[in-house]
Amino acid sequence: MDFSIEVSESEIEIFADYLYQKENAKATINKYMADIKKFLSFLADDKRINKKVLLQYKEWLVQKYAVNSVNSMLAALNQFLEFLNVGKLKVKRIKVQKQPFLQDQKKLTEKECRKLIATAMAEGKEQLALCIETIACTGIRISEIKFLTVERVKSGKIEIYNKGKYRRIFLPKVLQRKLLSYCHNNQIEEGWIFVTKNGKLKDRSNIWREMKRLKEKAGVAESKIFPHNFRHLFARIYYKVTKDITGLADLLGHSSINVTRIYTATTETVFQKKLDKIVEQEILECTT
């Protein structure tokens, strides 16, 4: 008989504390909680699970979601199974061949980035413009803006502790001057820089929505406007100029250079042009 275990919705809150104790980021905890609630919803009235049920859930996910989303939800499920002390029931994620290129509709260009910054400034949203500029000029994650404090900006070095890792990034002088000028003009003398009118740290979901509202006036496709895309833009530009992927991995806080390679990828269009050029010059030329 297959090993099985019964789960209950009351265990969800305990699972949240388990993730917190493991020092997962708040966003990760929220994501995993939502994914596990989806899993319990799939189970419906019968909350007894075994390997067969878990594989059925995997197949259900594959039919409804993109592969990356499926793997993300399976990662949450496997964490939940570890929490329940039934790690032997864990489900394998779907193997995906890494693509050497980005989707053209998502690649943000330097020109488009400047348009978004200029549009934000024109609408009197200096803080939003600075937020975009800061990510694009440093490669930090949107969740790491909390490390941008007046004290750290004055020193020119930002110390970041995230995902169990510590790293230090350096601020470009021009960005440092802009941030300090903003603080001076808005009477921010200490602590966080990107705050609400009430002095609370700006929520990343609010920042994302503010960015999206720039799309029409900036003339930039909505599919390209999300915080992490400015981090990708920084990575591509840094690598294009320096060809230093190891240094880039350190700046981005990646443990593996294989992850960093994804950030430096070109688009399908550029990839196609390079391929056509190689074939025309090196292969077909021999047959003409």
Q: What are 103's two structure tokens?
A: 């989707």
Q: Quote the Cα angle for 222-143-200, to 5°.
A: 100
Among 89, 114, 143, identify where a domain stops: 89
Q: Are residues 173 and 157 in contact, defined by beta-carbon separation less than 8 angstroms? A: no
Q: Domain for residue 277, yes or no?
A: no
Among the listed ranges 6-10, 33-37, 209-213, which one has the minimum average pLDDT value?
Answer: 6-10
> Is residue 67 located within the same domain as residue 110?
no
What CATH number is given to the structural domain containing 14?
Answer: 1.10.150.130
Residue 46 lies in a domain: yes
Q: In 10 A of CB 72, how many CB atoms? A: 17
Q: What is the mean pLDDT of residues 215-220?
A: 93
> Total domain count for the chain?
2
Radius of gyration of the chain (CA): 23
259 and 159 fall within a common domain: yes
> Could you report the per-residue pLDDT of 220-263, keeping only the tens digit for each?
999 899 998 999 899 888 888 888 888 888 888 887 777 777 76
Q: Do 73 and 132 fall into the same domain? A: no
For the chain, the first-to-last Cα distance in angstroms comes to: 67
Domain-embedded: residue 273: no
The stretch 59-86 carries a mean pLDDT of: 92
Clarify whether residues 45 and 121 are in a common domain. Answer: no
**Whether 85 and 115 share a structural domain:** no
Same domain flag for 118 and 43: no
In 3D space, the residue among 8, 63, 56 whose CA is nearest the CA of residue 36 turns out to be: 8
Mean pLDDT of 65-78: 91
80 and 20: one domain? yes
List b or e across 213-235, with b for residues whose CB sees 16 or more CB atoms inside 10 angstroms: bbbeebebeeebbbbebbbbbbb
**Overall average pLDDT of the 126-147 stretch:** 94
Same domain, 151 and 232: yes
Are 28 and 69 contained in the same domain?
A: yes
Examine residue 158 and state whether it is found in any structural domain, yes or no: yes
In 3D, which of 141, 112, 118 has the Cα closest to residue 130?
118
- Find the domain containing 81 and state its range: 5-89
Measured CA to CA, the distance from residue 101 to residue 258 in angstroms comes to 14
Task: Based on the fold, state whether residues 40 and 183 are members of the same structural domain.
Answer: no
Same domain, 229 and 188: yes
Is the pTM for the entire model greater than 0.85?
no
Secondary element (H or E) of residue 114: helix 110-122
Residue 44: inside a domain, yes or no?
yes
Domain boundary among the residues 89, 122, 152 is at 89
Q: Are residues 236 and 120 in the same domain?
A: yes
